[in-house]
């Protein structure tokens, strides 16, 4: 593939769910839009399946010495340790699946499995223990390819449906191949050595969702275009265990019906709390929607003036669409009002507030301009090597913290990547974030960002840090790690105190 599926993905909400968007200009297949929709995996999770059996199985497989040690813990520590052990096992299992997927992809693209070292796996953001687990599956996967000789049509391709239930969905297919003369959608699934071969309804639904998407992002001559989904007549789950692979064909029509039902349930759950928090009490007055309707009208006016793209860039992924204004909470309406006002100010648009008995809204002519900090001063190569060494010593949770910061900065195009630019400023930011990963307290970290770089969004707070601000952020972390007291001010900033 000549593009990265991440180009079409966005992280949404406090749990950073994977959603998809379509940034391409209008064409015969679809119009340009600010649409964002959930991933197929996000839709699947709405069913709330009971994974307690899997968790119990992981606990039962712990070494006897570990179980004996846990018996000496108090209840709280035992609970935390078991949760940590289960999460570690889950990360290793997920890493094993990612590596096997990568090998399958390189077999399709290059005809051979890519050799991986522990450093490669670490650089992929996966637990290094996952490589030893994945190597147990390598022979089985090789045998399947030698036997079946699939002909590649596409792999790791993004598929989109922008229509179903007004939300749509997006996903990344494992592979479309010609297998025994039939165009087939494949999904690779690794199974634990102690489990049985098989396929599950959600896996069939996942394949069908890819087949029944509206279009896919096809690489053509170094660029990407929307293209119709190929005529795929077969869907197959490849169940992979160390001793071999088995194929499980799916009924595409029934699997698509199952996915639609899952999407219906996911959509219903978007407003499941309305019955508790939004139902008016008996005897109360009807809710006044004038303010909300006026806000929607202003949004439409911004789009008519040709500024839809800028509105979309500031529209947080967790905010509902204007077409779903009836679901807005008070907090969401306040956030949307702030976004709308920002766009109106920047373009000096004199929109009329249609609320009865209210005057025309007036704004000043000051444009909101974001000045990007200087990245022209190169950092010392020795210092860069030192920061890489520090990063290599972090544990999985600390790495996740660092990556979360980088992802939030990237959400609005304010990259802090040292791989892209080894500037002094980015070195200072990396040093501060790595130091904060030792604390690993997101709430306290946000207070610190508010202190050194108060801005409208987290992406700006992190991505637009100056060297001086990053150094100050680093100093706050050292202050906390040294056990010195801090005070949280009323505007959610940090005031450093001294030990008595």
Q: What is the pLDDT of residues 413-472, one digit of tens each?
A: 788 888 878 999 999 999 999 999 999 888 888 888 888 888 767 777 888 889 889 899
Phi then psi for residue 199, to 5 deg, are: -140, 155
For residue 242, the SS3 value is: coil
Model pLDDT, residue 274: 67
Contact by Cβ (8 Å): 103, 138: yes
* Half-sphere exposure in the Cβ direction for 495 (13 Å, CA): 6
How do the residues of the chain divide into helix, strand and coil, expressed in percent and rounded to 5? 50, 15, 35
Cα 257 to Cα 206, 207, 212: the distances in Å are 11, 12, 11
What's the rounded Cα separation, in Å, for the pair 201 and 375?
50
Helices in 330-380 by DSSP H: which ranges? 330-346
**Token digits of residue 367:** 């444009």
Model pLDDT, residue 355: 37
Model pLDDT, residue 500: 44
Unique residue bearing structure tokens 């004038």: 290
Phi then psi for residue 243, to 5 deg, are: -85, -10
Model pLDDT, residue 287: 54
Model pLDDT, residue 349: 55
Q: What is the 3-state secondary structure (H, E, C) of 281-327?
A: CCCCCCCCCHHHHHHHHHHHHHHHCCCHHHHHHHCCCCCCCHHHHHH
Q: What is the pLDDT of residues 40-98, one digit of tens each?
A: 999 988 776 666 777 787 788 888 888 888 888 888 888 888 888 888 888 888 899 99
Phi then psi for residue 452, to 5 deg, are: -95, -25
Model pLDDT, residue 367: 42
Q: Which residues of the chain have pLDDT under 70?
A: 1-2, 14-15, 48-51, 273-290, 347-371, 411-412, 456, 498-500
Q: What is the pLDDT of residues 384-412, one digit of tens each?
A: 888 888 888 888 888 888 888 887 787 66
Model pLDDT, residue 222: 83
Contact by Cβ (8 Å): 240, 247: no
- Domains of the chain by residue range: 5-266, 287-369, 381-496
Model pLDDT, residue 363: 37
Cβ neighbours around 409 below 10 Å, total: 23
């Amino acid at each position: 593939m000549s593009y990265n599926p991440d180009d079409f993905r966005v992280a949404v909400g406090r749990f950073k769910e994977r959603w998809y968007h379509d940034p391409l200009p209008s064409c015969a297949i679809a119009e340009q839009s600010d649409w964002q929709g959930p991933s197929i995996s996000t839709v699947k999770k709405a069913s709330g399946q009971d994974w307690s059996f899997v968790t119990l199985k992981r606990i039962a497989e712990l070494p006897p010495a570990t179980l004996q040690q846990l018996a000496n813990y108090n209840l709280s520590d035992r609970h935390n340790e078991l949760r940590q052990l289960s999460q570690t096992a889950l990360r290793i299992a997920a890493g094993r699946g990612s590596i096997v997927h990568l090998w399958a992809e390189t077999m399709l693209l290059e005809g051979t499995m890519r050799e991986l070292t522990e450093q490669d796996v670490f650089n992929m953001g996966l637990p290094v223990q996952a490589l030893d687990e994945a190597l147990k599956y390598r022979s089985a996967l090789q045998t399947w390819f030698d036997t079946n000789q699939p002909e590649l049509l596409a792999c790791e391709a993004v598929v989109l449906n922008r229509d179903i239930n007004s939300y749509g969905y997006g996903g990344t297919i494992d592979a479309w191949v010609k297998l025994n003369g039939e165009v087939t959608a494949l999904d690779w699934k690794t199974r634990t050595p102690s489990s049985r071969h098989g396929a599950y309804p959600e896996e069939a639904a996942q394949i069908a969702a890819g087949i029944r998407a509206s279009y896919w992002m096809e690489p053509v001559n170094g660029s990407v275009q929307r293209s119709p989904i190929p005529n795929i007549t077969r869907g197959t789950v490849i169940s992979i265990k160390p001793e071999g692979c088995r194929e499980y064909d799916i009924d595409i029509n029934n699997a698509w019906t199952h996915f639609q039902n899952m999407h219906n349930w996911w959509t219903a759950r978007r407003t499941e709390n309305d019955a508790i928090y939004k139902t008016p009490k008996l005897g109360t007055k009807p809710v006044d929607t004038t303010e909300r309707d006026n806000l929607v009208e202003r949004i439409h006016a911004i789009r008519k003036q040709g500024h839809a793209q800028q509105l979309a860039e500031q529209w947080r992924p967790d905010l509902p669409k204007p077409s779903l204004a009836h679901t807005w909470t008070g907090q969401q309406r306040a956030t949307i009002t702030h976004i709308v006002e920002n766009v109106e100010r920047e373009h000096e648009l004199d929109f009329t507030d249609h609320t009865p008995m209210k005057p025309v809204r007036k704004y000043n002519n000051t444009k909101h301009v974001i000045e990007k900090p200087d990245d022209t001063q190169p950092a010392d190569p020795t210092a860069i090597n030192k920061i890489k060494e520090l990063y290599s010593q972090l544990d999985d949770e600390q790495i996740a913290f660092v990556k979360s910061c980088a992802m939030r900065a990237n959400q609005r195009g304010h990259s802090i990547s040292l791989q892209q630019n080894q500037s002094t400023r980015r070195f200072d930011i990396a040093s501060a974030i790595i130091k904060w990963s030792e604390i690993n307290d997101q709430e306290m970290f946000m207070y610190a960002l508010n202190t050194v770089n108060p801005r409208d969004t987290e992406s700006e707070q992190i991505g637009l840090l100056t060297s001086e601000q990053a150094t100050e952020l680093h100093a706050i972390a050292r202050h906390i790690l040294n056990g010195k007291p801090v005070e949280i001010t009323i505007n959610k900033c940090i005031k450093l105190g001294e030990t008595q």
